[in-house]
């Protein structure tokens, strides 16, 4: 398996991932178990994500949601099970290699370069797609110049998509929290992913910021065809926008299905509320 680097394919108008391929599922997390010094973080967890799907992972604190993400992007290596990307195992691959395949991630805690501008932060997301070497890049000539201009064009399209143009030259440390979360989403988009891992994208946001982020997530899926895995505590958001939902509790999968089905599941209600109610 190789990362899909290329010089062309740099504007959002041309960048839409098409469904289909010689694989059953875009991503498959197959019977994965992960433990730390005997403490089980995940136990036989399995799920799949298809092209263009918005798949949500929910569960109480400590349920294993972030551990799932850390396995997916190569930070953790599970002791059992396997992870398949387009039908091929990526278990044990380095995080940068996995990013090169087309799997990008945002973080619950903002991980931006605070003193760099919005534009500069988004351009760092292009590193995984850069083909010229550091010497050619420093000379800024020929292919290096062409690639840099193409990268900037794509980043400007992302700035327009996420409606952050007025802040493009501001250091991100000076921006409101909700805008910083958009910038982090934009940096992940700059990697040209086929799968976005969104780790609590609306954590700490007010209602207006949450509604804006939900709109951008749906726009990204609609306009770019990118599949997403969403980890989120905001149940209203999850139930409104997800195609399917998986529920984890103490590292085990207790339910998976459409939002309507999952929120009526007695085991899910028990995990969240401690007793049975009509719905969560």
Residue 277: the pLDDT is 45
Q: What is the pLDDT of residue 126?
A: 81
Across 142-166, average pLDDT? 83
Q: Domain spans of the chain? A: 16-102+193-280, 115-190
pLDDT band at 31 (very low <50, low <70, confident <90, very high): very high
pLDDT winner (highest mean) among 140-144, 163-167, 269-273: 163-167
Nearest Cα neighbor of 28 from 43, 44, 2, 46 is 46
In this model, does residue 199 exceed pLDDT 70?
A: yes
The pLDDT of residue 9 is 46
Instruction: Round the average pLDDT of the chain to a whole number and report it.
Output: 86
* C-beta separation of 44 from 33 below 8 A: yes
Residue 141 confidence (pLDDT) above 50: no
Is 30 buried (19+), middle (13-18) or exposed (0-12) by CB count in 10 A? Answer: middle
- Asked if CATH classification 3.40.50.300 holds for the domain at 16-102+193-280, the reply, yes or no, is yes
Cα R_g (the chain), whole angstroms: 19
All residues at 6 or more sequence positions from 202 whose CB lies less than 8 Å from its CB, including other chains: 181, 209, 210, 213, 214, 232, 234, 237
- Could you read off the pLDDT of 107-129 as tens digits, one per residue? 877 778 889 999 999 998 887 65
Q: How confident is the model at residue 136 (pLDDT cuts 50, 70, 90)?
A: very low
Determine the pLDDT at residue 183: 94
pLDDT reading at 77 higher than 50? yes
Cα(53)–Cα(55) distance, integer angstroms:
6
């Amino acid at each position: 398996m190789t990362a899909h680097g290329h010089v062309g394919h740099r504007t959002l108008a041309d960048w839409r991932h098409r469904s289909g391929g010689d694989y059953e599922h875009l991503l498959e997390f197959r019977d994965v178990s992960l433990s730390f010094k005997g403490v089980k973080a995940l136990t036989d967890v399995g799920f799949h994500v298809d092209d263009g799907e918005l798949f949500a992972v929910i569960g109480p604190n400590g349920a294993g949601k972030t551990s799932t993400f850390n396995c997916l992007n190569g930070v953790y290596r599970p002791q059992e099970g396997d992870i398949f990307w387009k039908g091929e195992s990526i278990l044990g691959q380095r995080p940068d290699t996995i990013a090169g395949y087309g799997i990008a991630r945002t973080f619950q805690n903002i991980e931006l370069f605070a003193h760099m501008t919005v534009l500069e932060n988004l351009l760092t997301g292009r590193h995984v797609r850069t083909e010229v070497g550091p010497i050619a890049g420093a000379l800024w000539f020929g292919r290096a110049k062409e690639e840099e201009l193409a990268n900037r064009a794509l980043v400007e399209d992302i700035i327009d998509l996420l409606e952050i143009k007025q802040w493009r030259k501001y250091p991100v440390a000076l921006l409101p929290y909700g805008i910083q979360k958009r910038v982090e989403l934009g940096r992940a988009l700059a990697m040209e992913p086929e799968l976005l891992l969104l780790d609590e994208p609306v954590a700490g946001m007010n209602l207006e910021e949450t509604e804006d982020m939900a709109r951008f997530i749906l726009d990204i899926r609609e306009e770019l065809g990118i599949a997403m895995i969403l980890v989120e505590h905001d149940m209203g958001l999850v139930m409104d926008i997800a195609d399917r939902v998986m529920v984890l509790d103490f590292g085990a999968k207790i339910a998976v299905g459409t939002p309507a089905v999952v929120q009526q599941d007695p085991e899910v209600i028990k995990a969240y509320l401690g007793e049975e109610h009509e719905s969560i």
